[in-house]
Amino acid sequence: MGFEVVQQDIRDSAKKLAEVASGVRGADPSADVKGIADALPDSRSAASAATLQSTWRRRFKRWSDDAEAQRTALDTSAADYDQADHLADQQYRMARRRFEPEMR
């Protein structure tokens, strides 16, 4: 197996991660909880729902941003991954196998 295969595998996971990031961004439910305040005006839940709305908006955005950042990092790693890394990896794998025979 050449280093290009590993490179491609890393790129593939980066691509999938981009799909997850955009999926999570699209599934942000923060706007939905606003309906709680409309249905139950002046309730304790209405007050909590307002806080949750902004918390979720932030939290979902942060998750997608972090996933995007990780995707970029993966793409960079794939580009940087070369023959030298691949050899190092193989040596590492052999060394681990020697010490941990049960590891596959």
1 touches 68 (CB < 8 A) = no
CB 66, min distance to another protein, A: 6
CA–CA dist 62, 10 (Å, integer): 23
How many other C-beta atoms can be found within 10 angstroms of the C-beta atom of residue 67?
19
Residue 82 sits in the site that holds another protein (CB under 8 A):
no
Structure tokens at 74: 């993966």
Residues at the site binding another protein, with contacts judged by CB under 8 A: 1, 5-6, 9-10, 12-14, 16-17, 19-20, 23-24, 26-29, 32-33, 35-36, 38-45, 47-49, 51-52, 55-56, 59-60, 63, 66-67, 70, 73-74, 77, 81, 85, 88-90, 92-93
